[in-house]
A and B are shown apart, each in its own frame.
Chain A
């Protein structure tokens, strides 16, 4: 904005000035229009319903995709794939199934039936109902939910520090566990300056419920490290060699003596 300074030596003449305000608004993410058909006629020759996504914009650094899930149905439970339509008085039922695309089977209550990262549509196909006890109109209401799946950002979930034989401390509790197993002649021990060590032992890191581990960084007694980026997340030794190995590779062959800590990376689901 310009600052205007006016010195009045004489009667002020009329004065006017303007300020142009501009704002380059970023696109709002997420943006979308999802349309769920109000009805599907199962008497049609090939009954289908098309869920559409329009005006989709997702900032891919924040939002991965839009998910449409079949949350519930009137007469079936989560996990069931045989749907039931009934007459108004409930005296007669027919069963049918739902599939994605041209398939007429495969969809269960609770399933994700459509995923959108851009404008598009997803066809749901329905089988011909069977099994009526009485003639008449049979109906079932299907309820779909729409949610935006956020991009999962990998963070350090916890640091596991060896504190004793098969014992550890966690910088953040209840996000991961470490468990030990042994070969037939295997054993492990703990030394303050080596951490966990021994022959024929295996330590496996697993996520707590609600978390996903993306990688584990295993540190040896000299703070040398090896990274495992694929489950199972395991460090182990053989009965012949106490050198800790990750994915079959020693951290430093014939030098590494034990494991002192494990950094666990991932995200909350």
Chain B
């Protein structure tokens, strides 16, 4: 019998994040021109604040495979952010994992351990899993989930992974 268990490590978020920067206040007075004004002209400043926006899609779930690695993509599209910034996706926490790079899908007392890598590097809790730059084209970051190990009971093991999305200064 094929010894495969369905382990579900899930997090779901369809994130459409709009960053709204506060408008700077204008301190400039209107130009008042009278017939005896020295300067017969006035300036008007047209201001348009382009709000940062982007759509980052986090997959709702990924099914791990006891026999092989599996992958799952985080995507971003229509990224419009300030110059010098980037959109960063961080794996903030696992429901069964608070630190480290070994994650834990559980079913009762049974725990299946697995790891996650992004861009060839292991991901720890609090680590960055994807960075996206300004642009309209779809951008993809692939997460690779290892074969789980160590479970003691058959059945569906799960862990919820929470990701956060933010714009930060690009290094």
Contacts and interface: CB of A to CB of B under 8 A. Distances in A.
Nearest to A138: B48
A135 interface: yes
B34 interface: yes
A43 B48 contact: yes
A137 B49 contact: yes
Interface stretch (A86-94, A181-189, A230-238, A256-264): A86-94
B41 A135 contact: no
A141 B43 contact: yes
Interface stretch (B77-85, B101-109, B120-128): B77-85
A43 B23 contact: yes
Contacts of B24: 137
A146 B42 contact: yes
Interface in A17-34: 28, 30-34
Contacts of A41: 23, 47
Interface in B37-62: 40-53
Contact of B50 (A38, A94, A144): A94
Contacts, number: 138
A126 to B, nearest CB: 7
Interface residues of B, number: 33
Interface size class for chain A? 35 or more
* Chain A contact residues: helix, strand, loop or mixed: strand
A39 interface: yes
A139 B47 CA distance: 4
Contacts of B46: 39-40, 42, 83, 85, 96, 126, 139-142
A36 B47 contact: no
B9 to A, nearest CB: 33
Given A41-B23, A43-B23, A136 B40 contact: no
A33 to B, nearest CB: 5
B153 interface: no
A92 B83 CA distance: 8
B33 A136 contact: no
Q: Which of B24, B42, B43, B80 has the most CB of A within 10 A?
A: B42
Contacts of A49: 44
A34 B50 contact: no
Nearest to A133: B134
A139 B45 contact: yes
B166 interface: no
A119 B135 CA distance: 49
Contacts of B21: 135-137
B1 interface: no
A123 B21 CA distance: 28
Contact of A31 (B19, B35, B45, B83): B35
Contacts of A146: 33, 40-42
B166 to A, nearest CB: 14
Nearest 4 Cβ contacts at the A-B interface = A36-B42, A135-B52, A42-B48, A38-B28
21 contacts: A36-B31, A36-B44, A38-B30, A39-B45, A41-B47, A42-B47, A42-B48, A85-B47, A94-B50, A129-B48, A134-B83, A134-B134, A135-B21, A135-B52, A136-B50, A136-B83, A137-B49, A139-B48, A143-B41, A144-B42, A145-B40
Interface of A: 28, 30-43, 49, 71, 83, 85, 87, 89, 91-92, 94, 96, 126, 129, 132-148
Interface of B: 19, 21, 23-24, 26, 28-35, 40-53, 80-83, 85, 134
